[in-house]
Structure 1
Amino acid sequence: MQDIQSGPSDVALAIDRVGVKGLKAPLTVRDRARGEQHTVASVDLAVDLPAEFKGTHMSRFVEALGQWSGGLDFASCKRLLADLRERLQASSAHARFAFPYFVTRAAPVSGSVGPMHFDCLLDGELSGDKLVFTLRVEVPVMTVCPCSKAISLEGAHSQRALVRIACRSKSFFWIEELVEIAEAAGSSRVYSLLKREDEKFVTEASFANPCFVEDVVRAAAKRLAEDGRFTWFRVECESQESIHNHAAYASIQLPGPAGP
């Protein structure tokens, strides 16, 4: 049958990325407490397309993912990217995995246990001999406003904030490590299950540790910079303000503007 995709393009312009989005696939991720964790990912796959070709072969992306092992580690992702590049005769290949990662969390006083999930995003790109992986984790925390606390006779406004850490590294690290760095930067971590004694503890502990979004990103960035494993990172904090009709935001990116 005629291969329309491999024919000439009406407009001879190269395309940076072409592929498929929103594929669902089972995923196995390393878990610090249990060894491994099974979750489900939304997967985007793409390659570059030279100017002389009209289109890519979309079915080959689905075939490559279907024959992939489903283990999310450096070697496995590299094999998937190399397979995509070979199947589609491309010079670069990109894969993105968006998935929830679950951690069992015990309440601080009662010890009541409940699951917490953290939204993760892994980007992998193979271009020539260069292979780049970027992991992003989104972590909810609680923040108490230092200004509100300082000027109020009673209480202060507090809210949930989202800390996003995206990073690249030269050696292995656990997802849990990024979660812990983000949580330590806020006024308090948040929980899926709290009893009254736990709520009292969280409230008092957070009000003893007020912080702006600026404080959050600086604290997390300091930890990442001092770690030594991370070659690039970006820290963002978005505070879903409880007394304003807007969000407060701050970000730090090191070592510079290059990033995803």
Structure 2
Amino acid sequence: MELPDTQSNLPEVRINLTRVGVKNVQKLVEVARPGKRPVIFISKFNVYVDLPSSLKGANLSRNFEVIDEVLQETTEGMVNGIEEVCNAVARKLLDHHEYADRTEVNMKSLYMVKRETPVSKTECDEVVEVHASAIADRNNGKPIVRRMIGAEVTGITACPCAQNIMKELASNKLRDLDVDEEKITAFLDAIPMASHNQRGKGYLMIETDDDQRVELDDIINVLKDSMSARIFELLKRGDESHVVFSAHKNARFVEDCVREMAKQVVQKFSYLPGDSIITIQQTNEESIHQHNAYAERKATIAELKAEIGNGD
């Protein structure tokens, strides 16, 4: 006996719906790499299609089928990296939902990265939060896809303002001890002063056309190098002194981090089309205040190039 297809009935209220789908679909994503072990991502997907006024509901089981199809392709090396997963799902959704003109896929993943500490070369793990999205428009059978890939990374920042206060206090103390000015200057140039620190969270998302490839590791490195210093889960004594020294030698405000990210994006991703959209956010969790500091910039890469070029 053929079961009734209730979703294809006419709805009582006939209006189009912008997004219909499933949220928080948890999957283990395994991305094949030639000659290396596969990369594993623990992921959550949100998957949507638009729905015309002529249909009561969407066939949501097709969304699960499409995700599983694409994830199988990633394990077989048919999808080139985590950057491609959402694109592939968005395109296949158009094939499986013939009534839909628009599909959207959002993915948030935990990515375990192997790191080596700067001095002792101790191996340790680090968790990075990866964000990816894709939106596909049917466009009369020639789908147009815009995709986004980004990450959130944690680092350390040191406050320049408090550091300058401490530098002035140290200068005065050294003068009280009859240390000459030349030695005071040499000492303060060599040894950065104390400051209060923040755990910084940097976020970078890049939106491009479907044919533009952006490497996730490049995004992660831009984020890490935009704060005062990188941090590590495991530190030996030499590593700890290196991280603390580096952070205080490179004190940055939350605004500095965003501007440094923008500069590195322009340098690293100069090949991207000018209409590629860059979203940069930095949140610093303050240590001596109860609030957090925040800065943000959203612009096309062409706009950033123009501003940074003018700044030169």
CA contact (8 A) 2:86 2:133 kept: no
* CA-based RMSD: 2.2
Partner of 1:218: 259
Which of 60, 82, 100 pairs up with 2:91? 82
What is the match of residue 232 of structure 2? 191
Moved over 3 A (4+): 29-36, 72-79
Q: In structure 2, the residue corresponding to 1:235 is in which secondary structure?
A: strand
Matching residue's letter, 1:195: K
- The 1:181/1:106 distance shift into structure 2, 3 A limit, reads same
**Aligned AA (1:185):** S
Larger Rg: 2
Q: Which residue of structure 1 aligns with residue 288 of structure 2?
A: 243
SS in 2 for 1:67: helix
Q: Deviations over 1:234-258 (max 9, x none)?
A: 11000011111111100111129xx
Q: What is the TM-score with the length of structure 2 in the denominator?
A: 0.76
**In 1, Cα distance between equivalents of 2:215 and 2:271:** 12
1:229 aligned residue: 271
Counterpart of 1:116 in structure 2 is 126
Aligned pair count reads: 256
Counterparts of 1:1-260 in structure 2, within 5 Å, are 1-29=3-31, 34=36, 36-68=38-70, 69-71=72-74, 73=80, 77-89=86-98, 90-128=100-138, 129-152=143-166, 153=169, 155-169=194-208, 171-226=212-267, 227-230=269-272, 231-255=276-300
Q: Which amino acid aligns with 1:61?
A: N
Instruction: Indicate how the Cα distance of structure 1 residues 47 and 198 shifts in structure 2: closer, same or farther if over 3 A, else same.
Output: same
* 2:42/2:111 contact within 8 Å kept: no
Which shifted more, 195-204 or 61-70?
61-70
CA 1:135 to 1:111, structure 2 compared with 1: closer, same or farther past 3 Å?
same
Identity, % of aligned positions? 25
TM-score in terms of structure 1 length: 0.90
CA contact (8 A) 2:40 2:112 kept: no
Q: For the Cα contact (< 8 Å) 1:31–1:174, is it kept in 2?
A: no
* Structure 2: gaps of 5 or more residues: 170-192, 302-312
Q: Distance in 2 between matches of 1:171 and 1:104?
A: 27
Q: Is the 8 A contact 1:32 1:174 kept in 2?
A: no
Cα 1:32–1:98 shift into 2, 3 Å: farther
- Specify which structure has the higher proportion of strand: 1
Structure 1 position 125, deviation (Å): 1.2
What whole-Å deviation, never above 9, does each CA across 1:22-72 have from its counterpart, x for those lacking one?
Answer: 112221347799474122211111100012212111111112222333525
C-alpha distance in structure 1 between counterparts of 2:279 and 2:101, whole Å: 28
Gaps of 5+ in 1: none
Q: For residue 12 of structure 1, give the secondary structure of its aligned residue in structure 2.
A: coil
